[in-house]
Amino acid sequence: MTPIARGIQKDGVLHTFELEEKHAAQAAESFQKADVSHLIKQYVGPALENLKTIEKEGPFDAVFIDADKVSYPDYLTWAEKNLKIGGLIIGDNTFAWGNIHNTNIQDKELAQKVNALRDFNARIMRNPKFRATILPTGEGLTVGIKIA
C-alpha cells in the first residue's frame, strides 16, 4: 500500500482495511517509515462492515482488493456502487494460486475461495459498467475501469 500512498494527491486519502490488529500495526509501521501515514486511514475488522463507514466520502478513484477471497464478489458489488466513472478496480490473486481452472478441488475451504474468485472474474467481465481484463502475473491480477 505504501507505493499507492506515494501517488496520492495532497488532499487524497488511502483507506486500508485489515481484519486483524497485528496486521494493521505492521502496516502502520510501514506507513510511518515511508512518511505517508498522514495520508492513511486504517480500519480494523471485517472490511465489508467497515466499507459502509466510508461510503459518504465517495465516489472513489480506485479499489484494490487483496483480502478475504470469498468476499471478492461482494467487494465488486460495493465497488460498482462506490467507484467514480473512470475509477479503477484491481483484484489480486485472481488465478486462485493456479486453481482457477480446476473444477475438482478436494479441499473445501480452497474450493470456496476458488469459486468466489471465479465468480468475481466472471461478474466483472460480464458487467456492462466495467471494461476489465486479467493480467497474467504469477497469481493473476484482474483490472477493471468503471465506464458507466
Task: State pLDDT tens for residues 53-63.
Answer: 999 999 999 99
Q: Measured between alpha carbons, how far is 28 from 31 in angstroms, rounded to an integer?
A: 5
Q: What topology is assigned to 58-148 in CATH?
A: Rossmann fold (3.40.50)
> Taking residues 77-98, what's their average pLDDT?
97
Q: What pLDDT is attached to residue 1?
A: 63
Residue 125 amino acid letter: M
Task: Decide: 13 and 39 in contact? Cβ < 8 Å.
Answer: yes
- Work out the pLDDT band at 3, boundaries 50, 70, 90: low
pTM of the predicted protein model:
0.91
> Taking residues 19-45, what's their average pLDDT?
94
> Taking residues 33-37, what's their average pLDDT?
91
For 103-122, the pLDDT digits (tens) are 999 999 999 999 999 999 99
**CATH 3.40.50.150 placement within the chain:** 58-148
Q: What pLDDT is attached to residue 136?
A: 95
